[in-house]
């Protein structure tokens, strides 16, 4: 048995977690295991970081991930990305896990990407909508219900080396290292 980890997509501050998600059906109709919002500097690059087992990702642009949309005209309205994780190149193995990132501008195009560590998924906006999410410019992250969120208190600093999510994988023998 092995663990697959995903790390914080930006250096920032933990703004909150599981306050309006935690096992509830959530936009876009996913059952998520845990939500994190990470405050960051305006226009910061939001990147993908994971265990070395992840050799490829599949990206899909999505609409709004939050339960309440920001007002029309805000730059990150309907700016989400779904990331599927695979342990072989070209997304050719079984799907290991799924992540969701929200509140992005300049999102990555739909597609399959090999060697995904440090790949930019999008950028933080420069506007704070002050809507039913968290105040402040932030990236919203969620994982699928098979994962485990690494608990952290609000106000704690997180970095691109900070573990955010973990999946238990029973057999990684088919995954190259």
Q: State both tokens at 156.
A: 């704690």
Distance CA(68)–CA(50), nearest Å, equals 29
Instruction: Set out the domains of the chain in order of their start, with CATH numbers.
Output: 2-169 (2.70.70)
Q: Are 114 and 38 in contact (CB under 8 A)?
A: no
DSSP string, 151-169: ---TT-EE-TTSEEEEEEE
Distance CA(143)–CA(141), nearest Å, equals 7
Cα–Cα–Cα angle for 67, 127, 161, rounded to 5 degrees: 75
| Tens digit of each residue's pLDDT (9 = 90 or more) over 35-90 | 788 889 999 999 999 999 999 999 999 876 665 566 666 666 668 899 999 999 99
Taking the CB of residue 164, how many other CB atoms lie within 10 A of it?
A: 24
| Tens digit of each residue's pLDDT (9 = 90 or more) over 4-42 | 999 999 999 888 665 444 434 444 444 445 678 888 999
* Separate counts of helices (H) and strands (E) for the chain: 0, 15
Taking the CB of residue 123, how many other CB atoms lie within 10 A of it?
A: 22
The residue among 98, 112, 46 whose CA lies nearest residue 76 is 46
Peptide bond before residue 145 is cis, with ω within 30 degrees of 0: no
Average pLDDT over residues 94-117: 92
Which span out of 37-41, 96-100, 112-116 was modeled with the highest average pLDDT? 112-116
């Amino acid at each position: 048995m092995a663990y697959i980890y995903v790390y914080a997509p930006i250096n920032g501050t933990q703004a909150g977690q599981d306050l309006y998600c935690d096992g509830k059906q959530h936009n876009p109709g996913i059952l998520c295991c845990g939500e994190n919002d990470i405050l960051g500097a305006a226009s910061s690059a939001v990147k993908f970081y994971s265990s070395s087992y992840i050799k490829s990702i599949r990206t899909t642009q999505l609409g709004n991930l939050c339960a309440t949309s920001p007002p029309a005209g805000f730059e990150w309205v309907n700016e989400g990305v779904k990331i599927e994780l695979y342990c072989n190149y070209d997304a050719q193995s079984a799907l290991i896990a799924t992540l969701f990132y929200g509140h992005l501008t300049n999102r990555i195009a739909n597609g399959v990407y090999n060697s995904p560590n440090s790949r930019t998924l999008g950028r933080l906006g420069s506007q704070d909508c002050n809507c039913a999410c968290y105040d402040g410019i932030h990236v919203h992250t969620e994982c699928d219900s098979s994962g485990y969120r690494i608990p952290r208190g609000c106000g704690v600093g997180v970095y691109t080396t900070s573990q955010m999510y973990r999946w238990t994988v029973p057999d990684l023998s088919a995954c190259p290292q």
